[in-house]
Structure 1
């Protein structure tokens, strides 16, 4: 196993490293054709302005060449045809480049999704992982004008502008090195001003992003239907509106400061350009008046000098785009490097058969927590055993389950699967050995059959699907649905979709676990949303549900643990009591005390109901 480094802050990459990364992605995703399209666009992007700038001088040279009118007309027509042909090809390549870079963004989005669903759950679930994933998404899903698409386009434009500047500078240098020095000096001064403005704007991006994130959170909360009653009952509308105004004002102020810096750099550029033009054009006019320069040459150099300014403006525009998207590139790459990547892992032995799970001095601490949730835990779960985990809220039961099935990695200690460190095994192969129903159940907005089988509609085993739904007690409900097992859940993807009740969703997740037919079954509060009758029926069928499997069962209702071979009572991440229900009741410890409290509560509830009737 190879672990990638984790950092509390976003890793920053150098400008040139991000450039190489973007070009490498372009070549890998779009191939040599994509590279050729971008290269051709750069080449024609340099040639076309040069032909346009030289048009007046070329026509003047042809007219004063002394050739016959027919030859002059043919030469001028040929030049115009060449110019239009290059213009057409450049426009076509520009459209192809737009398409290529758009596809690059889409293809990198697939890498992003693959990383999200394949990376280890512990890293993804952490607050750090969630923030990194959210920030990385902005590199792909902020539109054509931001992120990887705009970043790669800006580098292509930057190369084009640099080549144009060098070409035009070489032409000017043949006339006068002093003129070239003036143009270069102005370019360096403007470059410094724009770079300084870009760095100043870049330094404000973190605060803008933070404020914008708060704004987006508030916006989402106001449109959630379930929140509407609290907002109205407690008159929170004023609070929300006040927060909206404050955040918008702050973000606008920061953006205004960014734009002010760019505007100041632009005004300085205009002044320097004016001064440069006065000097350069004055020199050209003097040279022509003195007879040192012909009219065609004068027209050519006027176009070249004007074009030099256009190249310079384009260069700064591309540079600004690069700087504005640097952070988005850093965020994306930081997420793609984050978490654990599996390399060369082996599959578990005895796949599809019951396993022994052993914890040796296992501790686990959540990110940012000051103490361990699981503390020095030692435990062996025997093959085929039915084990119950009970204890108060926050005792670490669900965390223990995630460690057991390999979703979490111990902070210290080792979890063994059949004597082998579970972290040394292929994670996906380990997951195939477990069927888990977690406490927080939900249904994806897919067809019901997809939710149970976890394969595309029509590829599931229909007999196994029906058997799983029957054992989970949901088959009759499924038969009553408009399209049976093909009915979509919820209304996100199909307006005719059906929303199941909490208890029905819990049965659906139980059916999913049964369909998987894994040798290890873990049920985390499997009856929390069931009514008493449905709960009783499920307990009666429990032996049938877990027959031939190792089963771990979590419940707050201690009366439901009697059918288990062994009961573990957890407190503060430690196993404080262990035994059968009868043994723990005779011991008279925390388990017996909690069981007695629950029994008395249910007895009082029953008495109150009888009195009411």
Structure 2
């Protein structure tokens, strides 16, 4: 496949009209193949209906003007009208049935593509979530799948419109050509001019309006979330942020309104130009028919006059509409470019990947690993060499900004190293499928997020039918939520949050942390990672929780992250980071004996770990 890189977004790709057409047709065939028959039936009936009246009028006018007895004329007219009405009714009925069945199936197909987009959003490389270009591209992909007149579904509707008008144009072309080939040329020129101007408007509209609105929609969504979500409400009120945030939101709205006004101005110009072309086409049609009938250049009956007038109007209308819909098709295709660019963004090849080793004896090793955030001036983590042995408890400590969290994101493969590599049992972790590699870890992060799902599913992170309820309850009790579980009226079936259920229950900060521990216990992965989930606790409480959780996980490998050195002194090895580098490494006793930076900071922090005011027992 060949495509061009877009100038406005380095992650955007231009796939081309025919490639996007194949993409849409493939999705139609994948999700609902019968839609092809329904769409063809609808477009065929719609095309015939556009000029059926012209033929019916010709037969009626010819019957009226023919030299026959009145009774016979009446008899013929009745037959023509009855047959015409039945034929028209049959086409109308077929079109109504097919059309009513096509529309919901288009929505069904679009829903399938939305599932693809959402799945991509949840599986895309985590590092891309921090890139504005990726977020803008996701917004544009969402726009491409959220409407029925644009983007993906727009291409389906437009294919049907193009087919209808192409069929009408071909049928009426021959009849008008017999009348006067110069009329065909003139109508075609008018149609092409209308299309060319329409195409200019389309390009300007896409580039100057909708592409520039992508970040505006993203900011608008953010402002809506900030001003309506409970977690922001306290700060907004206590810091008197209402005028400030309203000003920010007004600025976003003003940008949007300015672009929408420009959009409306563009299409007003196109409408005026199109009307002018339509008037010229009608004038030319009547002029040709005038010369053909009045001047007797091409003598015809009144019925033929009526037919040719209907066919000429049908031809010019179908041609102009065909070309304009082709322009719309190009625009929708450009929006499908947005969708496909997002779906194929950073797509990783599944070829030559290896299955994960079937063993719980896992050794993870950093080999001269460095990582630099995009557009940063220096490495966040520099030349790290470190090994996590099977069953080992490793403490990763250091002050805020030392590089601890970056190291963990690299270990979990949320980031890939800028330099160096990480190996699992001697093999580069990039050789394994990313989702398979994720299954090796039970993480507990500092920020714990609840899902609007039952408590049991919030523990298992699986559908209820796949959840071991007894295991979920056990994990909750082991994590310290026994009392909370017992007081909930619906127990494990209690909905969390009030988003999906009015009876939803929220948890306190401490309860959320314990729920996160229960998740890690339930998953039971061979490597446990705790990334400062207890930062809100005091130093002594953090130390006690870490030690209790360590007893829960048994002989699993574990990585404990903290900026409080004594919290993790029970670990087999301690890695101390400073300014993105591994400063010291060893056991607690070794580092204390060394008398370096670790020992100094430990002594400074030791006062916070005394369990009694008199200092009868402290961290030493």
Asked if TM exceeds 0.5, the reply is yes
Q: Deviations over 1:139-183 (max 9, x none)?
A: 122x32333112321232123223322322221111111111111
Partner of 2:555: 548
* Structure 1: distance between partners of 2:452 and 2:255: 38
Q: Report if aligned partners of 1:139, 1:148 keep a CA contact under 8 Å in 2.
A: yes
Q: Report if aligned partners of 1:137, 1:332 keep a CA contact under 8 Å in 2.
A: yes
Task: Verify: 1:436 aligned to 2:443, yes or no.
Answer: yes
- Mark the CA change 1:430 to 1:252 in structure 2 (over 3 Å): closer, same or farther: closer
Q: Which runs of 5+ in 1 are unaligned?
A: 609-613
Following superposition of structure 1 onto structure 2, how do residues 47-196 of structure 1 map, counting pairs within 5 Å? Answer: 47-64=48-65, 68=72, 69-124=74-129, 126-141=131-146, 143-196=147-200
* Structure 2: distance between partners of 1:12 and 1:247: 28
Following superposition of structure 1 onto structure 2, how do residues 443-592 of structure 1 map, counting pairs within 5 Å? Answer: 443-530=450-537, 535=542, 537-592=544-599
Q: Could you state the TM-score of these two structures normalised by the residue count of structure 2? A: 0.90
- Mark the CA change 1:128 to 1:589 in structure 2 (over 3 Å): closer, same or farther: farther
- Mark the CA change 1:597 to 1:52 in structure 2 (over 3 Å): closer, same or farther: farther
Q: How many residues align?
A: 601
Q: Which piece of structure 1 moves more, 147-156 or 204-213?
A: 204-213
* Structure 2: distance between partners of 1:250 and 1:349: 54
* Structure 1: distance between partners of 2:274 and 2:438: 61
* Structure 2: distance between partners of 1:306 and 1:199: 29
Task: Verify: 1:347 aligned to 2:355, yes or no.
Answer: yes
Partner of 1:42: 43
Partner of 2:606: 599
Q: Report if aligned partners of 2:497, 2:505 keep a CA contact under 8 Å in 1.
A: yes
Q: What is the CA-CA distance between 1:46 and the residue it aligns to?
A: 1.3
Q: Secondary structure at the match of 1:442?
A: coil
* Structure 2: distance between partners of 1:112 and 1:583: 51
Q: Which of these residues, 267, 270, 294, is aligned with residue 272 of structure 2?
A: 267
- Mark the CA change 1:573 to 1:16 in structure 2 (over 3 Å): closer, same or farther: same
- Mark the CA change 1:566 to 1:533 in structure 2 (over 3 Å): closer, same or farther: closer
- Mark the CA change 1:212 to 1:521 in structure 2 (over 3 Å): closer, same or farther: closer
Q: Report if aligned partners of 2:540, 2:609 keep a CA contact under 8 Å in 1.
A: no
Partner of 2:425: 418
* Structure 1: distance between partners of 2:527 and 2:247: 52
Task: Verify: 1:307 aligned to 2:314, yes or no.
Answer: yes
Q: Report if aligned partners of 1:62, 1:76 keep a CA contact under 8 Å in 2.
A: no
Q: Which piece of structure 1 moves more, 303-312 or 392-401?
A: 303-312
Task: Verify: 1:255 aligned to 2:256, yes or no.
Answer: no
Q: What is the CA-CA distance between 1:492 and the residue it aligns to?
A: 1.3
Q: Could you state the TM-score of these two structures normalised by the residue count of structure 1? A: 0.91
* Structure 2: distance between partners of 1:606 and 1:52: 99
Q: What is the CA-CA distance between 1:324 and the residue it aligns to?
A: 4.2
Q: What is the CA-CA distance between 1:224 and the residue it aligns to?
A: 3.3
Q: Report if aligned partners of 1:342, 1:426 keep a CA contact under 8 Å in 2.
A: no
Q: What is the CA-CA distance between 1:302 and the residue it aligns to?
A: 1.2
Q: What is the CA-CA distance between 1:66 and the residue it aligns to?
A: 5.8
Give the CA RMSD over aligned residues.
Answer: 2.7
Q: Which runs of 5+ in 2 are unaligned?
A: 616-620
Q: Which piece of structure 1 moves more, 232-241 or 57-66?
A: 232-241
Partner of 1:611: none
Q: Report if aligned partners of 1:38, 1:97 keep a CA contact under 8 Å in 2.
A: yes
Following superposition of structure 1 onto structure 2, how do residues 357-436 of structure 1 map, counting pairs within 5 Å? Answer: 357-436=364-443
* Structure 1: distance between partners of 2:248 and 2:516: 40
- Mark the CA change 1:260 to 1:462 in structure 2 (over 3 Å): closer, same or farther: closer
Q: What is the CA-CA distance between 1:197 and the residue it aligns to?
A: 1.9
Q: Secondary structure at the match of 2:575?
A: strand
Q: Deviations over 1:269-303 (max 9, x none)?
A: 32333233233213313322345111111000111
Q: Report if aligned partners of 1:359, 1:378 keep a CA contact under 8 Å in 2.
A: yes
Q: What is the CA-CA distance between 1:568 and the residue it aligns to?
A: 0.5
Partner of 1:217: 222
Q: Deviations over 1:413-443 (max 9, x none)?
A: 1211111111112333322222111222122
Partner of 1:19: 21
* Structure 2: distance between partners of 1:555 and 1:248: 43
Q: Report if aligned partners of 1:187, 1:312 keep a CA contact under 8 Å in 2.
A: yes
